[in-house]
Amino acid sequence: MQKVTIEELRQMASDCRESIWEQASAYGREPRIYLHWSAGHRYGQIFEDYHVNIDGDGNLFVTGDLDEVKSHTWRMNTGSVAISLCCAYGATTNDLGDEPPTDAQIQAMAQAIVAIADGLWLTIDKAHVRTHGEQAGNEMGWEQPAYAPWNDECNDGQVRWDLEYLGNDESPEYNPWATDGSRGGDVLRGKANYYRNQGI
């Protein structure tokens, strides 16, 4: 595990670009970036399942090479990079608990998306950057549904809902059907594109 800057993360992604594209191409798709929260206790608990972990202060920690196949998103690990916020222990769809995403984490995740997307030559859109909740919901018919209904906490078809909402003014509540840009993935991609346009 190593603490890295945004520029270092961009270079790491660039160094792994060819390998990650080859991995994804073997499955007939382009590389993707998956966004998670760890649901671990404490804002600094790092998990090896994710390539990038972001602590409560917005610091970035990388666990190995970005082209390493890790276990973060069921059946979607090859040719993808996972970023996770170290937060959300005990979170529910009604309450993100005592350890919700911090503003520093949200901003750092958006910047990390830019760094990895730049390094991999990816557009920042839902085709290439998705929350775990968006992927698991299979809402656009990307792949077969990933999880069994017994994992469905709300009995609403949303079986993994990482980052469906962020608990801030931009994304205040769980609503996986929202079309007003308030879903966590929409907010994070919007921030990432803003940072990219600012040259960050």
pLDDT at residue number 72: 60
Smallest Cα–Cα separation from 84: which of 191, 196, 188, 194?
A: 188
Could you give the CA distance from residue 193 to residue 109 in angstroms, rounded to a whole number?
Answer: 12
* Contact yes or no for 160/147 (Cβ under 8 A): yes
For CA atoms 133, 98, 46, 48, the dihedral sign is: negative
Whole-structure pTM value:
0.90
Q: Which domains does the chain have, with CATH numbers?
A: 2-197 (3.40.80)
Question: What pLDDT tens digit does each residue of the chain (200 aa) get?
Answer: 999 999 999 999 999 999 999 999 999 999 999 999 988 888 989 988 899 999 999 999 999 999 988 766 655 678 899 999 999 998 888 899 999 999 999 999 999 999 999 999 999 999 999 998 887 755 555 454 444 333 445 444 445 678 999 999 999 999 888 999 999 999 999 999 999 999 98
